[in-house]
Structure 1
Amino acid sequence: MHYLLLISCFVTSIIGDALEPTNSVFLDRQKTVSFRWSYTDETITYEITVPGTGWVGIGFSPSGTMKGADIIFAWMVNEEPRVLDMHSEINGIPALDVEQDIRSFNMKQNGTHTTLLMDRFLDTCDEAHDFVITEDTTRVIFAYGRDAPKGNLPNFGSYHGRNRGVRSLRLLDKKLPVLNVEDDTSLKYFDVRIKPFTIPRRDTYYHCTYHKLPEFEKKYHMIQFKVMITPGREKYIHHLVVYHCKESLVTDQMLNSTEECYVNDQGDHWKYCTAVVVAWAVGMTELTLPDHVGFPVGSPGTPKIVKLEMHYDNVDLDEGVVDTTAVRILYTPNLREFDAGVLLTGHDVTPTLLVPPGSNDFVVHGHCTDQCLRGIMKHGNQTHVNVFGVFMHSHTAGHKMIVRHYRNGTELEPIAKDLAYDFDFQESKILPTEKTVRSGDNLIMECVYDTTKRTSITTGGLGTRDEMCFGFLMYYPKMDDAYCQATPDGRDLEKFFGKNNIGDVYYAAMTKKWTDYSRRKFNEVQLASPLLELCLINDGSIEGLKEPYDVPKIQHRYAESIGRCELEKRRRGTNRGWRPS
C-alpha cells in the first residue's frame, strides 16, 4: 500500500463540495466534460466532471499528449476516493510519482457522472515530474473510463478508448465577465457581417469587404467584441481583422464589392485603412474590455467605415462552402474614463522574415523603435500610454512569443509573453498589471520558431505555412492608431549569401545545405541588421525618420524573479528539491 502512504503524507485535508469558480469551460467539443478552476498567487483549485462512474484522469502536458505529462488519476474504491499523482514518459500507462503533491481533494459520483476536485501549488517543486503552471498557454489533457481499475494502480483494463482529449487554456489569465444586452438594457450592438460568400477551393484566401457603421447621434464606447462564425465553418476561418478606414477614400463601388485582399489595387490597403479596430484568430472567445476603457465611436475621428479582412484556410479544398460570419460589437452610452486605441507592432509581412529548415529556437524580432514611437506619441500629444491588453499572432511554426520593452538601454519586464504558444489557441490577454510605455521607449515583438519538421525555408507571408510576427497592443489614452513595425535591411542578408538582391537571397536560402552553425550565424545577422521602418498613423507616415536605423543597444537585460522553490533550495544550500507544506 505504498501509494496510500505517499498520499497520507502530503494531503492536508478533504476540501468541501462547494467551489466558486472564476473560470469554466468544456474540454471537449461535445460539451460533456466540464472543467472549472480558480487560483491564488501560489495555488490552483480545479474541478473536472466526466460522464460515467469509472475513473477520471486530468493532466497538464507540454505537448498536448501523455508523453511528458503531469497526471492525476482517480477512481472510487468502496465509496472512498483513490487519487494518485502520476506522470507519463510515454503515450501509455502513467507511472506513480515518488512525491504525491496533492494538497487536498474530493471526489463524488451521482450515478451518471464523476466529479474530481483538486488543489495543488502552481509550482510543487517536484522538478522531475510535476508541471509548473504559469501565465503561458497550458495544454490540459483529460481521459476517463467506464470501469474502475481492478488493482491498486491503472492498468491496461483502464483504457480510455475515445474518451480523451486536450484543450489549450491560459489558466492564470485575468478574465472579465461576458456582457449581455439582455442583462443590461443600456447596452446596444451592431454586426459587421459579410454577405453570403462561397469560400474558394484554395488553401489560403484573403477576403476583404467594406462596411458602413450605424450613424451614431453621439459618442459611445465599444466595450465587447464577439466573432459569430457561421455554424460548421469553424475550421475554415484562420483569423480576421477589422480596420478603421478613411471614409473620404472609400468609394461607393468599394462598399458594394467583395474582393480578394492584397491583389490589384488592394495593394493600396495602407492608404485606405490603416488603424486596427479589433483582431481575432482561431481559439479566441469574446474580448471584453476592462471597465475603465472603451474604443470610441460616434465622435470626430472615430470609425464610420471599416474594412473586414477574412483569412480563409481551406486545406481540404472543399467546394460549395458558404460563409456569413460576423463580428458583433457591443457599445454603451455610459462612457468609460479613457478612450482606448490599438498599436500594431511586429515584423512586416516580407520575405526578410526567413527561417531556415531544421531550426529549433530561431528568433525573429519585429521592432517598434524609439524614433517611431516618439513620432507617434508627439503626433498624439502624449508622453506615455498604458498598455492593458495584448494579442500576439504568429502561424504554425511559432512556439514562443514575447513583447519585450526597453528604456534607455535597459530591458524592463516584458509587456506580455507566452512561452508555450499554440497556433490553435490565440486569445487576447488582459494584463494583470498595466504596463506604461513612454515616448522614446523601444518595443520588440519577439517570435521564436520551430521548423525542425520542415525541409524547406519558411518566409513571411499570408499563408498558414508562411509566417507572421505581430503584437496588437491595446492601450490608453488613445492616440491616432498606428503601425510601429520594422524589418531587417536586406543588404546584410544579401552579404551573408553573397548575393546582390533579395530575390537571389530567397533562392540561395532555398538551396542551401543548412547546418546548426549556419542557422545560428544567419540568425545573428538577422537580429543585428539595421532596420527599415513602417511607421504609420491614419494621416500617413511619420516624417523625418532616419533610415536604415540601428537596432537598440541593450546594456542591461531583464532578470526574471527567482521562484520560491529555487529560493528555498538556495537557502538550504542543496540541489535537492524542497517540498512546500
Structure 2
Amino acid sequence: MAYATKLTLIHHIAIYVLFYSICASGDDCGVRDNPDVNYFDVQLPEINVPNHLTSYVCQQFKIPTDQAYHAIAFEPIISNHHVMHHMLLFGCESDTGNMDPHLCGSQDQSCGSWLAQWTIGVEGQVCTPPQAGIRFGKNSFQYMSLQIHWNNDGTIQNQTDNSGMRIYYTTKLRQHDLGNVQIGQNDIEIPPLTPSHNTVGSCSGSCTRQMLFQPIYITRSYIHMHYLGENGTFDLYRNGQFVQRISEDLAYLYHKSPIHNHKPPVEVLPGDELRLTCGFDSYSGEKKRNTTLFFGEGSNAEMCYAFVTYYPHAIGFDQCIQFADYDVNCPSSDGRMFGGCNFYDLESSVKGHLLDDIIRACSLGVLCDKNCSQTLRELTTHPCMQGRLGVHSRRTILSNIPSWKKVIIIMDDYRDKCVV
C-alpha cells in the first residue's frame, strides 16, 4: 500500500480488472458498423519490457475535445500475451506532460478517474450499459492516460510490447454518465498454512453519506483477488441490516473470475454500506504458503477488491476503501482522514531525526529519564503507530531503516525497566 490516504491505481493498483460487461469475441457491443460511432486508439509504441516480475508503464494521449462525447465500448489491443496482466484507462482534465511512455509515478496521479479496464483472461470488447456512457471532451476529460501492468513471470529478457485500447464513442449522448468505484481492503495479512482466512473491506455508511447526494444504481460488479483467493461476497447493508447479496464467487479462480451483471440494477442510497468479504486459502495444493502474505501490487501478494459500475456518475466517488477499520477516502466523524495518520510525515520524521534522537536520549545509564521517555513518546503516540496502522508502519517503513533495530531493543528495555 502507498503511504498516502488515497490508493492510486497508477501505482499499484493492481486494480486490475474491468468495470464493464464482457461478451463473446467479435463485434461484442454492436459498434463497428454503427454510422453514429467513431473510434480512436490509445496504444504504446513498441518498447522494451523490463526483465523483472512487476512493472507499470504509463502514457498520456490527447483525445477529441471539440464537443461532448460518450465512450460506449473499449476494445483491448494485446500484442504480448506473455507479459500482459492488466490495462487501465484514466480520464485527465489537463496535460500532465507525460505524452511519452514512462514508468508510472506520482506525476500520473492527477489522472484519477477510471474509464475502462482489461485484465488477463478476458476476451472481446468492453461494453458500457445501454443507458449510460463514459463522458469525455468538451467540459470534461481532455486527455486519457493508459496504464499497463506487465507481469514477467520468468523475468525473460528482450521482450517488447505495444499494447493499448481502442475507444468507440458517439456524439449521441445516452441518458446517464457512467461511474466506477473501487471498494475493498488495503490491510491484508494472510497467515501461512491456513485453509480459511477472511478479510473484510467496506465502503461504509459514513462514506456513502458524504460522497453520494442521490441514489445510485449498480449495473455490474467484479470481485478481484490473486492466487490465494478462494471465495468472495459483495453485500448491501442499510441501517446496519443486511439488504441483499449483490454478487458472490463461491469458487474463485484468479484467471477466470466472472463479471456480474445486475438486472435490475441494485439501488444504493446515501448512508448504505457496501461490504466485501474475501476468503483466502494458504494451505491447499498450489496455494500452499509457508510465509505470511500481505497486500501488494504483484500477483505474488494479495488483494481484496470489488470493482463496481453504476449510474449516475457521482463526482469523486471512484474509490471507497478501508485500511483495517479506517475509511481511506472520506473523513471520520472527527474530520480526520485515515485516523489522522499520514505515512509520509512518519517516514520523514523517523528518517530525519526521530530514531537517532531516541538512541541518543536513551543511551545506557539514562534509559528511564525524562528525555528518553519524551522522545519515545513522540514515536509511540504517532497516529501511524496505532493498531493495524502501526503494524503496517513497522513492516513497510521502519523495518527498512537500519537504526530501527537499535530502537526496538531500547523500547523493549524501557518497557521492562522503566514502566511501572
Q: How does 1:434-473 map to 2 (within 5 A)?
A: 434-452=265-283, 453-473=288-308
Stretch deviating more after TM superposition (323-332 or 178-187): 178-187
2:32 is the alignment partner of 1:237: no
2:142 is the alignment partner of 1:295: no
1:387 is aligned to: 218
Shift of 1:278: 1.4
User: What CA distance in whole angstroms lies between the structure 1 residues aligned with 2:218 and 2:32?
Assistant: 31
2:387 is aligned to: none
Change (3 A) 1:535 1:229: farther
Shift of 1:182: 4.1
Shift of 1:312: 0.8
Q: Point out which structure has higher relative CO (alpha carbons under 8 A, 6+ apart).
A: 2
Change (3 A) 1:228 1:207: same
1:411 is aligned to: 242
1:107 is aligned to: none
- Higher Cα radius of gyration: 1
Percent identity between matched residues is 25
Amino acid at match of 1:259: H
1:184 is aligned to: 34
1:476 is aligned to: 311
Q: How does 1:35-184 map to 2 (within 5 A)?
A: 178-184=28-34
Q: 2:234, 2:248 within 8 Å by CA — same for their partners in 1?
A: yes
User: What CA distance in whole angstroms lies between the structure 2 residues aligned with 1:376 and 1:413?
Assistant: 21
Q: 2:65, 2:142 within 8 Å by CA — same for their partners in 1?
A: no
Change (3 A) 1:391 1:211: farther
Shift of 1:268: 5.8
User: What CA distance in whole angstroms lies between the structure 2 residues aligned with 1:341 and 1:353?
Assistant: 27
2:184 is the alignment partner of 1:346: yes
User: What CA distance in whole angstroms lies between the structure 2 residues aligned with 1:224 and 1:361?
Assistant: 38
User: What CA distance in whole angstroms lies between the structure 1 residues aligned with 2:333 and 2:220?
Assistant: 25
User: What CA distance in whole angstroms lies between the structure 2 residues aligned with 1:206 and 1:312?
Assistant: 6
Shift of 1:470: 1.6
Q: CA RMSD in A?
A: 2.5
Q: 1:191, 1:326 within 8 Å by CA — same for their partners in 2?
A: yes
Whichever structure has more helix as a proportion of its residues is 2
2:96 is the alignment partner of 1:251: yes
Change (3 A) 1:180 1:547: closer
Amino acid at match of 2:233: I
Shift of 1:269: 4.8
1:63-96 deviations in whole A, cap 9, x for unaligned? xxxxxxxxxxxxxxxxxxxxxxxxxxxxxxxxxx
Amino acid at match of 1:415: I
Shift of 1:460: 0.6
Amino acid at match of 1:317: T
Shift of 1:364: 1.0
1:21-73 deviations in whole A, cap 9, x for unaligned? xxxxxxxxxxxxxxxxxxxxxxxxxxxxxxxxxxxxxxxxxxxxxxxxxxxxx
Change (3 A) 1:182 1:463: closer
Q: How does 1:415-430 map to 2 (within 5 A)?
A: 415-430=246-261
User: What CA distance in whole angstroms lies between the structure 2 residues aligned with 1:466 and 1:315?
Assistant: 14
Change (3 A) 1:333 1:309: same
Q: Secondary structure at the match of 1:451?
A: coil
User: What CA distance in whole angstroms lies between the structure 2 residues aligned with 1:313 and 1:297?
Assistant: 30
User: What CA distance in whole angstroms lies between the structure 1 residues aligned with 2:303 and 2:291?
Assistant: 17
Q: 2:198, 2:278 within 8 Å by CA — same for their partners in 1?
A: yes
How high is the TM-score relative to the length of structure 2?
0.69
Structure 2 runs not aligned, ≥5 long: 1-20, 341-420
Q: 2:327, 2:337 within 8 Å by CA — same for their partners in 1?
A: no
1:54 is aligned to: none
Amino acid at match of 1:373: T
2:162 is the alignment partner of 1:324: yes
2:114 is aligned to: 276
Q: 1:372, 1:545 within 8 Å by CA — same for their partners in 2?
A: no
Amino acid at match of 1:274: G
Change (3 A) 1:411 1:199: same
Q: Secondary structure at the match of 2:207?
A: helix
Q: Secondary structure at the match of 2:254?
A: coil
1:443-472 deviations in whole A, cap 9, x for unaligned? 122211111111111111111110112212
How high is the TM-score relative to the length of structure 1?
0.51
User: What CA distance in whole angstroms lies between the structure 1 residues aligned with 2:173 and 2:211?
Assistant: 25
1:344-397 deviations in whole A, cap 9, x for unaligned? 21123xxx31111112221111221112111111xxxx3210010113222111
1:402 to 225, 233, 255: 233
Q: 1:194, 1:326 within 8 Å by CA — same for their partners in 2?
A: yes
User: What CA distance in whole angstroms lies between the structure 2 residues aligned with 1:461 and 1:267?
Assistant: 18
Q: Secondary structure at the match of 1:464?
A: coil
Change (3 A) 1:385 1:543: farther
2:315 is the alignment partner of 1:485: no
Shift of 1:255: 2.1
2:378 is the alignment partner of 1:533: no
Amino acid at match of 2:91: H
Q: 1:292, 1:338 within 8 Å by CA — same for their partners in 2?
A: yes
Change (3 A) 1:425 1:395: same
Q: Secondary structure at the match of 1:413?
A: strand
2:375 is aligned to: none
User: What CA distance in whole angstroms lies between the structure 1 residues aligned with 2:291 and 2:72?
Assistant: 43
2:159 is the alignment partner of 1:306: no
2:354 is aligned to: none
Q: 1:227, 1:327 within 8 Å by CA — same for their partners in 2?
A: yes
Change (3 A) 1:325 1:483: same
- When the two structures are aligned, how many residues end up with a matched partner? 312
Q: 2:87, 2:146 within 8 Å by CA — same for their partners in 1?
A: yes
2:75 to 226, 231, 247: 226
Change (3 A) 1:220 1:200: same
Q: 1:361, 1:448 within 8 Å by CA — same for their partners in 2?
A: yes
User: What CA distance in whole angstroms lies between the structure 1 residues aligned with 2:225 and 2:115?
Assistant: 19
User: What CA distance in whole angstroms lies between the structure 1 residues aligned with 2:263 and 2:45?
Assistant: 38
User: What CA distance in whole angstroms lies between the structure 1 residues aligned with 2:203 and 2:261?
Assistant: 21
